[in-house]
Amino acid sequence: MEQFRLPKIPIPAMELPRAVQDVLAEAEVKLAHRPKLLQLFKNCFPNTLATTTKRMEDGTTFVITGDIPAMWLRDSVEQVIHYVPLAKNDPDLQQLIAGLIKRHIQYIHIDPYANAFNESANDWHWNTTDETEMSPWVWERKFELDSICFSMRLAYKYWKETERTDIFDTNFKSAMRKTVDLWKTEQRHFELSPYRFTRNNDMPTDSLRNNGLGMPVNYTGMIWSGFRPSDDACDFHYSIPSNMFAVVTLRQMREMAEWVFRDLAFVDELKKLEADVDHGIQLYGIYRHPEFGPIYAYETDGFGNYCLMDDAGTPGLMSIPYIGYTTPDDPIYQNTRRFALSKQNPFYYEGKVAKGIGSPHTPPDYIWHMALSMQGLTAVTKEEKLEMLAMLEATDADTGFMHEGFHADDPTVFTRKWFAWSNSLFSLLVYEAMKEGIV
């Protein structure tokens, strides 16, 4: 397999923005009675800024995912999302986040199908055997519907928190246009799409079947996706959580189009696309489970076939309220949550030290720290939030950081010791618990 991992990009040390320093000082007081949790938070909360973030000469910001020297659109947003509420009165943080948004917009113009990009046009690629239309800027070109949703999520949250509109230039508007055109194309993937992807290795989840086109789908109004947020190929190519995320994103784009760009025709176009996708979710995305009642499927093909599972990655079924599609007390979501946290979910594991959701992306019996953090963030009770915090605190293998997956019987057996997204999501949960006064 012609795959390589290059040495990590050197990240210049930077002084932490004042707002981030203030949160760390606040934690010293509020978490003083839990010294290990405090140390984990002090390690994880600034981890993205301290180890993965680089200011570029053009004023943009480049954020590597951690142990891989490339920037995922999805990961880079979630790596900084816990800083966004702090940015309102911190010009340094505003500059960093606005710079990341501008770099996202550059990448969307380069290739809206790609999920991960290089710092420069250096022609580095995750795998040199990929058969697709590659660019020297592109690290990996797996089309994942959620990728651009995250780009727009960051821009929207930045705008709402800071009330700044400096990111909304002609490039941003054209990236919105490019996104809508892409999604309309992928509503009718087999008829209209130029996208193909195969990888010549021994991992079936790294390629799309049917000569790179993917398995057949029926028109539903939803948007086709080649790959999951885990970077694994979809079984059935309508990802329900990703389409939910697209609905939320279209609502946010509609608000930006109306109040920033004053383009009412575009507003109407976004509204229609949002309605088509949402109708598809409600008509094709709900499965009548014999034990749990109506639940949201993970994937469907529109022909009546369903993939019933949940994956630790975001967006997944657990994260439906987190992405903003519905509230945690929604009855169908609660049914879906009970399914995801049961052995009916093939990627839910229980072991000697932990129980939670893993992923087909990692070996059996590996629980993801991100799944535990997300379970806590979407919990409706204080008790469940505290349970997740305790489990996270107990499973860092005394490394001081969160990981990707760890063995349910032995947290010292884990994948990815440097995974900034996992550190950030954990930090968000702890910070939310601090604000709620439950720790």
* Closest to 223 measured CA to CA, from 199, 241, 196: 241
Tokens of 50: 């301290």
Residue 9 reports pLDDT greater than 80: no
Task: Compute the C-alpha angle 77/144/334, nearest 5°.
Answer: 75
Per DSSP, 138 falls in state E
Q: How confident is the model at residue 92 (pLDDT cuts 50, 70, 90)?
A: very high
* pLDDT > 70? residue 5: no
Rounded Cα distance between 414 and 436, Å, is 31
pLDDT band at residue 12 using 50, 70 and 90 as cut-offs: low
pLDDT in tens, 131-140: 999 999 999 9
Residue 7 confidence (pLDDT) above 50:
no
* 6 assigned to some structural domain: no
How far is it, in rounded angstroms, from Cα 13 to Cα 348? 39
Q: Cβ distance 357 to 348 under 8 Å?
A: yes
Which pLDDT belongs to residue 15?
86
Pairwise CA distance, residues 173 & 105, whole Å: 9
The CATH code of the domain that includes 397 is 1.50.10.10
Domain contains 7: no
Res. 293: pLDDT tops 50: yes
Residue 156 CA from chain centroid, whole number: 15
Q: Which residues pair with 127 in a beta bridge?
A: 3
> What's the pLDDT tens digit per position in 245-281?
999 999 999 999 999 999 999 999 999 999 999 999 9
Question: What is the mean pLDDT of the segment spanning 4-24?
Answer: 71
Please tell me the pTM assigned to this model.
0.96
Q: Residue 375: CA atoms inside 13 Å, Cβ hemisphere, count?
A: 29
Percentage of the residues of the chain whose pLDDT score is greater than 90: 95
Q: Please check whether residue 9 lies inside any domain of the structure.
A: no
| Confidence tier at 6 by pLDDT (50, 70, 90) | very low
Main-chain phi, psi angles of 101, to 5 degrees:
-60, -45
pLDDT tens per residue, range 401-411: 999 999 999 99
Is 245 domain-assigned? Answer: yes
- Encoded tokens for 180: 């809508």
For the cut 80, the answer to whether the pLDDT of residue 13 exceeds it is: no
Q: 360 lies in a domain?
A: yes
pLDDT at 428: 98
Beta bridge partners of 414: 406
What are the pLDDT digits (tens) for 169-218? 999 999 999 999 999 999 999 999 999 999 999 889 999 999 999 999 99
CB 138 within 8 A of CB 119: no
Show the domain range for 279. Answer: 18-436
* pLDDT higher than 60, residue 400: yes
Task: Tell me which H or E stretch contains 81.
Answer: none
Structure confidence by residue, pLDDT tens digits, 320-330:
999 999 999 99
Q: What is the mean pLDDT of the chain?
A: 96
Residue 1: per-residue pLDDT: 30
Q: How far is CA 419 from the centre of its chain?
A: 13
Domain contains 366: yes
Give the residues across from 210 on adjacent strands: none
pLDDT score at 132? 98
Structure tokens at 93: 């943080």
**For the chain, how many structural domains are there in total?**
1
pLDDT in tens, 38-81: 999 999 999 999 999 999 999 999 999 988 999 999 999 999 99
For residue 282, being part of any structural domain is answered with yes
Pairwise CA distance, residues 49 & 89, whole Å: 18
How does pLDDT run across 350-380, given as a tens digit for each residue?
999 999 999 999 999 999 999 999 999 999 9
Q: How confident is the model at residue 67, as a pLDDT?
A: 87
Closest residue by Cα to residue 312 from 407, 405, 238, 243? 405
Residue 398 lies in a domain: yes
pLDDT at 202: 83
pLDDT at 4: 35
Tell whether the model's pLDDT for residue 103 goes beyond 80. Answer: yes
Q: Is the pLDDT of residue 286 over 70?
A: yes
Beta-ladder partners of 239: 299
The total of other beta-carbon atoms located within 10 Å of residue 251's CB is 16
